[in-house]
Amino acid sequence: MAPMALALILGWCLVAANRTQHLPRPSLSLHPSQGVSVGNNVTLRCHLPQPAAWVQLCEDEAMTICRSKLDVRDTAEFSIVSTERKHATTYRCQYWVLWLPGSSEQSDPVELVVTDQSLPPPGISLSPEECVEIGTNVTIRCWIQDSGAIFLLHKGGRTAPIQRQDSDGLGMASFTLFQVTASDAGTCRCSYRPKDDPLVSSPLGNSVTLEVTPTPAPPAADGGSHGNLVVAVVRCCVAALIFIVGLFFILDARSLQIQRAQAQVGKGFQIFYPLEIPQTAPSLPVIPNRPPENPA
């Protein structure tokens, strides 16, 4: 009897362990989503696929600095009041289900970026400065006095930076936009993060405006619909003029041909009258002479 009970207990433990391995992973979100400035509040939310007896939010992958919530139905909220630079790190969460040993897998990591307003903002320049045509390469340069920084390029209307780059030995980074399109137009700004504290950010610097103009159209299309109408009218007039000139030449040639024909007829036509035969008396027959007849 005892071996059977032990087998049942071991079977239950194996089933429980198997169920633990397949616990759905939670997800973690940050509010506000793009970080927070020093002194402001931020909230991290661990979203659970099922009710949990215990939820943990930890600041590092080793899960050594953690906060906990008990008896959570679907979302566990962890608030950080008056954020400091030390709170700028990577967070993960996981949960435990009642009556099952072990925990779920850790959520995907979320980085909390803390903006320190005491850091000097970076400078920025745009080359070329004037409006550029579509297809042109544009260079945006960011700089600070400290050479040990990571620069980020931000575009107006987007929450996340569009490019990042380590600074060179002079504290500068050059971002190149190849063959710009109309969608690249807008304002650009820079920020940076110290290399020894990569989740602490400077405030955004001044902005530059990138203006992108369409490539000039062929001359025939410059006038738009009005130009097309003018071209059509000119073509009609030219066609009518060619027709009139052609008709004139045809009529002139026809008239010349008729005149030549009449001239040839005038020269070659002569009136012939019948020859006059002189009217003479009809000739009488010649009667030979004979002697006169004697009277009876």
Q: Is the pLDDT assigned to residue 224 strictly greater than 70?
A: no
C-alpha 16/C-alpha 98 separation (Å) is 11
Mean pLDDT confidence for 184-201: 93
**Among residues 64, 87, 115, which one ends one of the domains?**
115
Q: Is residue 143 part of a domain?
A: yes
Counting residues of the chain whose pLDDT is more than 90, the rounded percentage is 52
27/110 same-domain check: yes
129/99 same-domain check: no
Given a contact cutoff of 8 angstroms between Cβ atoms, the answer to whether 139 and 189 are in contact is: no
Q: Is residue 286 part of a domain?
A: no
91/36 same-domain check: yes
Given a contact cutoff of 8 angstroms between Cβ atoms, the answer to whether 144 and 123 are in contact is: yes
DSSP codes joined into one string, 169-210:
TTSEEEEEE-S--GGG-EEEEEEEEETTSTTEEPPP---EEE
Q: Residues near 268 by Cβ (< 8 Å), separated by ≥ 6?
A: none
Alpha carbon distance, N-terminus to C-terminus of the chain: 215
Number of domains in the chain: 2
Q: Is residue 44 part of a domain?
A: yes
Q: Is residue 67 part of a domain?
A: yes
Mean pLDDT confidence for 192-204: 93
**Among residues 72, 88, 115, which one ends one of the domains?**
115
Q: Which domain holds residue 67?
A: 22-115
Q: Rounded to 5 degrees, what are φ and ψ at 258? A: -65, -45
Considering only 51-65, 76-90, 171-185, 226-240, which range has the smallest mean pLDDT?
Answer: 226-240
Q: Is residue 3 part of a domain?
A: no
Q: Backbone dihedral region of 16: left (phi > 0), alpha (psi from -120 to 50 degrees) or beta?
A: alpha
85/32 same-domain check: yes
Three-state secondary structure call for residue 259 = helix
Considering only 54-63, 73-82, 220-229, which range has the smallest mean pLDDT?
Answer: 220-229
150/105 same-domain check: no
80/161 same-domain check: no
Counting residues of the chain whose pLDDT is more than 70, the rounded percentage is 75
pLDDT for 119 equals 94
Mean pLDDT confidence for 202-217: 89
Q: Tell me: the pLDDT tens digits for 258-292?
A: 777 666 655 554 444 444 545 554 554 555 555 55
Q: How confident is the model at residue 108 (pLDDT cuts 50, 70, 90)?
A: very high
**Among residues 83, 115, 147, which one ends one of the domains?**
115
Residues counted in the chain: 296
Nearest in space to 149 (alpha carbons), one of 115, 114, 193, 190: 193
Nearest in space to 191 (alpha carbons), one of 110, 118, 124: 124
Q: Is residue 108 part of a domain?
A: yes
pLDDT for 60 equals 77
189/152 same-domain check: yes
101/51 same-domain check: yes
Mean pLDDT confidence for 41-66: 90
Q: How confident is the model at residue 205 (pLDDT cuts 50, 70, 90)?
A: very high
pLDDT for 296 equals 42
pLDDT for 90 equals 94
State the CB neighbour count (10 A cutoff) for residue 2.
Answer: 6
Q: Is residue 26 part of a domain?
A: yes
* Tokens encoding 195: 């290399």
Three-state secondary structure call for residue 230 = helix
97/154 same-domain check: no
The mean predicted confidence, pLDDT, of the chain is: 80
pLDDT for 272 equals 46
Residue 195 sits in a domain of what CATH number? Answer: 2.60.40.10
pLDDT for 266 equals 56
State the amino acid at position 225 in one-letter form: S
Q: Is the pLDDT assigned to residue 229 strictly greater than 80?
A: no
58/91 same-domain check: yes
pLDDT for 291 equals 54
Q: Is residue 244 part of a domain?
A: no
Bond preceding residue 121 cis, omega within 30 of 0:
no
Considering only 173-182, 250-259, 269-278, which range has the smallest mean pLDDT?
Answer: 269-278
Considering only 8-22, 49-63, 102-116, 156-170, which range has the smallest mean pLDDT?
Answer: 8-22
Mean pLDDT confidence for 94-105: 88
156/190 same-domain check: yes
- CB-facing half-sphere around the CA of 110: CA atoms within 13 A: 27
pLDDT for 101 equals 79
C-alpha 290/C-alpha 257 separation (Å) is 78
Q: pTM to 2 decimals?
A: 0.62
C-alpha 235/C-alpha 67 separation (Å) is 82
